[in-house]
A and B are shown apart, each in its own frame.
Chain A
């Protein structure tokens, strides 16, 4: 008995999963499956077992096998040319996306690929992006060999249709770093050279020194003015072209006036200018934008169907199989789809047992069986053996892909303009009136001070503090959100979150967890032996319900199954140790039709007597009910599901009488529903997960994808929320509202500084020293205020 208990605890040396089958082992090392054992053998043979020393059970389970010639499409010249980065016929460099990468052992092993295959010259890993770049000897090794080697050690490269698109090289971050670095460098040096001016207005200057310092300052300010600040000019110009006055316009005005006046003062030796303040402002604003626009390397917010579709598909021609790129697929082609492969185009089933998992496309939670001659829509995943189908529509014309032709996808990303811009517009108008008044006053009293006062007002009253408070608050909120596993696309999403009035849920995958549907046995108590029988029979079938039943009794050993038969769409039966046992639908087992019930039912019959039934219930996410109770107080809610209405009563009781519940919704219907809500002037937040929600997520004011594996796949959206943190949604929405108030608060603070500054300016007495003190003081205090306050509130609410 002790032995049995121990063996239950055995975990796979490679991947750490429980070993149900204790027979697979090498020496004292146990493995959960032959796949894991094989990876160990490969590593052991090549002296790469340090892999296992770096982290505990670092491997990836190999239970699902990869088909032998899966990567033969990499031999296609067109595919090859699109995938690789560089080749000279001798050496080739290629980058693969490996979502399985998860620990330091992975990095170690993947960077030692050259030990597994001597033709690989080198490999380097970018862990945050989960990418590996391999350089290999093209003359002796093919791209396919590299992909197969990676697959053999458990890191199957993820190659999809979007990899075939032209790659857009991101240079924005690098450019920003340059601008920030140069602005910082110039700012620091200008400040240092200005010190003599600050203290005692330069009485320590010797002959020629003031001129030298001034010209050095001028020289140092040129890169700031012409290079570092360039993105403000571009943004302001873009706004003006669209007849929109954004916050960058008054900022550019202030920068240009400050620079112009300073150059004039230095060249005429009439003063020392405000170049220190100008470069400081540019530096702080760039730093703020950098802080705000952080990028999540491993998360993509722009995925469309192409990220899900395979690059190539097996096509049957004269009894030969050939892998051809999906884009070349034509109507009438005979395609072969194997276990766990996606159907790339709408097709008619020709041969084989189709068991299509549509969870991803329609939200249906259980696979659908299809008969020969039936049409199968693109996006479904085949579960089970290979099937053959004839393509009836090209990929771009298929049911699923057509969703992307909707207008919602051609709209620009700027869904709404930030309130910062509106605020800055009022601010600018006020500023101009003050400047005009000061100008008129000095024009009458002392015209020599006119220009001085006018420019000083415009310099001081630059809304840069508003921009600073917004960028730093948003940056900090984004940081706090990401700690709570809500990853947002950009800062405008925070504002949209604050103004939401209506929340729409998707059901399957969003409210429920696909993986852990709950199985319940309903009927008389089963003996251990009966449970063993049921498990053995269920083990013979690949139907998802059978798999659920198989996993329901993990403690039992399997018996010998003497005979077994499966009737598609009905059930399974077999004889074990002479006992007849049947599992299946009501019609099959009881010979009667039972009205649709909650979930899916599997009846059990042993030796001709009915024992009861297994019921598969949707497993709702933890905290779902409490969350809805909280949300109902502040928002109207509704539910859109592509699934059947078997759970309607339960959902009605949770969401309440007023909530709209719609079932059997197609992706297009979901999108239209959002559009109808928006027509009623509602700000809609949509929570979804699959491709079927992609249209609705895009159309809504803010679309949040709920995902159990953040790094893997989520449709195009504004934000990605980890399924485990789903219950925090209300708190996060509240925090977004708080963020807006913090920005307004810090804006008031910055106005106070401006009043002081304008006080000096209108009198025409703004000395460079006061400007130089006011500018960093206001910037730093605003920075401390926004970041400190938002962190404090987050801490109070247990968000950090």
Chain B
């Protein structure tokens, strides 16, 4: 039964680990802006594409928006 002492010790270590992670994330400012990072991660890296290069889009979001081009384009 003394296994329980080890278990409790281990569980507390794990819990303290999470607590430290939480404190670190608060200090890091992760709870300050909860909107921009969510948008930011949808942007591709290395966005600057050459004009002639074929457009590569991997994000679903961008594709969806892309189909709704302004009316102007359809007329021509």
Q: Which residues of A contact B (CB under 8 A)?
A: 6, 9-11, 13, 16, 28-30, 46-48, 50, 53-57, 104, 107-108, 111-112, 115, 124-129, 173-174, 177-178, 181-182, 185, 188-189, 192-193, 206, 209, 212, 216
Contact = CB atoms under 8 A, between A and B. Distances in A.
Nearest to A103: B39
Contacts of B40: 107, 111
B6 interface: no
Q: Which 8 interchain pairs have the tightest Cβ spacing?
A: A127-B36, A28-B76, A47-B48, A126-B33, A177-B26, A185-B19, A104-B39, A181-B22
Interface in B13-72: 15, 18-19, 22-23, 26-27, 31-36, 39-40, 42-43, 47-51, 62, 65-66, 68-72
Nearest to A177: B26
Contacts of B18: 185
Contacts of A209: 4-5
A181 B19 contact: yes
A56 B26 CA distance: 35
A129 B4 contact: no
B31 to A, nearest CB: 6
Contacts of A57: 70
Contact of B71 (A11, A47, A127): A11
Interface centre among B4, B49, B51, B70 (most CB of A within 10 A): B70
A10 B72 contact: yes
Contact of A177 (B1, B31, B68): B31
Instruction: Name the residue among B65, B66, B68 with the largest chain A CB count within 10 angstroms.
Output: B65
B26 A47 contact: no
A742 B73 CA distance: 56
Contact of A56 (B11, B15, B68): B68
Contacts of B32: 126, 173
B68 to A, nearest CB: 6
Nearest to B43: A108
Given A53-B65, A55-B65, A107-B40, A127 B35 contact: yes
Interface of B: 1, 4-5, 8, 11-12, 15, 18-19, 22-23, 26-27, 31-36, 39-40, 42-43, 47-51, 62, 65-66, 68-73, 75-76
B26 to A, nearest CB: 5
B72 A13 contact: yes
A28 B73 contact: yes
A112 B43 CA distance: 11
25 contacts: A10-B71, A16-B70, A47-B49, A48-B47, A50-B49, A53-B62, A53-B66, A54-B62, A55-B65, A57-B70, A104-B42, A107-B36, A107-B39, A108-B47, A115-B48, A124-B36, A126-B32, A126-B33, A126-B36, A127-B33, A127-B36, A181-B22, A188-B15, A212-B5, A212-B8
B71 A9 contact: yes
A129 B35 CA distance: 10
Contacts of A112: 47
Nearest to A107: B39
A639 to B, nearest CB: 39
Given A28-B73, A185-B19, A206-B1, 5 more contacts: A10-B71, A47-B49, A53-B62, A104-B39, A185-B22
Given A108-B43, A177-B31, A125 B36 contact: yes
Given A127-B36, A189-B15, A174 B26 contact: yes
Contacts of A16: 70
B72 to A, nearest CB: 6
A13 B36 contact: no
B1 A178 contact: no
Nearest to B55: A53
A13 B5 contact: no
Contact of B72 (A29, A48, A107, A212): A29
B65 to A, nearest CB: 6
Contacts of B5: 209, 212
A192 B11 CA distance: 11
Given A50-B47, A212-B5, A56 B70 contact: yes
B70 A127 contact: no
A53 B61 CA distance: 10
Contacts of A9: 71
Nearest to B29: A174
A6 B65 CA distance: 23
A112 B11 CA distance: 45
Contact of B15 (A46, A107, A185): A185
Contacts of B15: 185, 188-189
Contacts of A127: 33, 35-36, 39
A48 B65 contact: no
A601 B31 CA distance: 55
B5 to A, nearest CB: 7
B23 A181 contact: yes
A216 B35 contact: no
Contacts of A129: 33
Given A48-B48, A174-B26, A189-B15, A56 B65 contact: yes
Contacts of B71: 9-11
Nearest to A189: B15
A781 B69 CA distance: 51
Given A56-B68, A56-B70, A212-B5, A6 B75 contact: yes
B11 to A, nearest CB: 8
Contacts of A193: 8
Contact of A216 (B8, B26, B50): B8
Given A47-B49, A53-B65, A30 B19 contact: no
Nearest to A111: B40
A30 B72 contact: yes
Given A56-B70, A107-B36, A185-B19, A47 B51 contact: yes
Contacts of A177: 26, 31
A30 to B, nearest CB: 6
Contacts of A50: 47, 49
Contacts of A104: 39, 42
B44 to A, nearest CB: 8
Contacts of B12: 189, 216
A212 B34 CA distance: 41
A53 B75 CA distance: 18
B72 A28 contact: yes
A58 to B, nearest CB: 10
Nearest to A124: B36
Nearest to A30: B72
B73 to A, nearest CB: 6
Given A16-B70, A50-B47, A178 B26 contact: yes
B30 to A, nearest CB: 10
